[in-house]
Amino acid sequence: MTTVEAPESHLRENPFQIARLQLRRVADIFDIDDRLVNILQECKKAVVVSVPVSMDDGSTQAFEGYRVTHNVARGPSKGGLRYHPDVTLDEVKALAMWMTWKCALMNIPFGGAKGGIVCNPKKLSRGELERMTRRFTSEIINDIGPEKDIPAPDVGTDGTVMAWIFDTYSMNKGHSVLGVVTGKPLNVGGSLGRLEATARGCLYTIQEAVRKRELSLDGLRVAVQGFGNVGSYLAKFLVEEGSTVVAVSDSGAGLYNPKGIDVSAALAHKQETGSLHGLRGADAISNEDLLLVDCDVLAPCALEQVITPDNADKIKATIICEGANGPVTPAADDILEGNDVLVLPDILANAGGVVVSYFEWVQGLQEYFWKEPEVNSKLRDIVTRAFNETWHVAQERQIAMRPASYGVAVGRVAEATVTRGLYP
């Protein structure tokens, strides 16, 4: 048996330290009691498991898996599961904390959680992925459930992975448990609108920001880093609203055309070849250079910490929409704010996924499913309300959108913690 070790991470700073720093900054601005900060800066539970898998070549490999619950003051914990070579425990802890704030900002009754397995899913066969997922589910089966902790798709996972978790959990319980995961395929209890939900949330946030700045989506120039589920749908939706997508990228290739990229052709090319590489009608560009192109809106929808003090001052966009979690470091935030760049923070901008996951959970518990227009309408209402609450706090206190959004979210979790008290 061999153990798969994590390669050197792409992360320049410890994400959990960043998350805690953000919390302390918000506590200072909003005068939150130190005793509450001491509770909120820690994760309630972190589970680390070994996931042995029989590989197709007859060997056995042991992967390392994590499931972290940050807080359950407002309800069961909720958060994605990512399969990526760079997954670390501290990254998962940070993502779990951010999920707590995201759920609170959207005012849905969940706390934050996150999970991950250190692996490269692109190098695993379908059978290996299924065996790894089912074994991981068995390892954490006592820690998840519709009233405890509800996983969902994230980087490197999708509806198929959720179906395997749903089936494994249900087989062990002896009956189908629809609410154990969200992001499931429609034929096993998924929700209409869930696949595009994160991108729709980004779109609604951009629409509100553009309206506040007295601009128009029609003719707006947009660069999208990351062409997975979030980035590809966001690019598609923005083009439908009249915007011009001047740059897109995935993990292997980037494309730039100041006159606009044919997003439909890019989607078809990606689906056919698995990559954006080789698409005609645009110049090749690196992921790093894409961040610096001349555009009105920049949407980093890939991984964390891509905008740092090294490149923040060179960014030409006037609005940044964080489709990914944590793409802007705290030091870069300060530079962008000084340059009057409006940053739409991750816990606001990309919360559409968890909102519709909440809808899916509710539908699964009721075993009654909604039509897609109803899902999208409810999503717009929640995201728009959260944007306006954040905007109001930002204007009232003369602070950036990130501390404003955190102020609303952390305040709600702190209030719930005080109301519940400490046991014993």
Enumerate the active-site residues.
114
Q: Which of 375-378's residues contact partners 24+ apart within 8 Å by CB, and which partners?
A: 375/191, 375/192, 375/193, 375/194, 375/197, 376/193, 376/200
- DSSP one-letter code for 314: G
Backbone angles phi, psi at 116, to 5 degrees: -170, 160
CB 77 within 8 A of CB 419: no
Q: Which amino acid type is present at position 185?
A: P
Q: Which amino acid type is present at position 171?
A: M
Alpha-carbon distance of 180 to 102, in angstroms, equals: 20
Alpha-carbon distance of 377 to 374, in angstroms, equals: 5
CB 113 within 8 A of CB 72: no
Alpha-carbon distance of 37 to 15, in angstroms, equals: 18
Nearest to 136 by CA among 4, 325, 326, 302: 4
Helices H / strands E in the chain, number of each: 14, 13
Q: Tell me the Ramachandran region of residue 157: left when phi exceeds 0, alpha when psi lies from -120 to 50, beta otherwise.
A: beta
Q: What percentage of the chain's residues is helix, strand, coil (to nearest 5)?
A: 45, 15, 35
Nearest to 211 by CA among 405, 397, 344, 346: 344
Nearest to 297 by CA among 352, 240, 243, 353: 243
Q: Torsion angle of alpha carbons 368, 373, 375, 378, nearest 10°?
A: -120
Tell me how long the chain is. Answer: 424
DSSP output for 97-110: HHHHHHHHHHT-S-
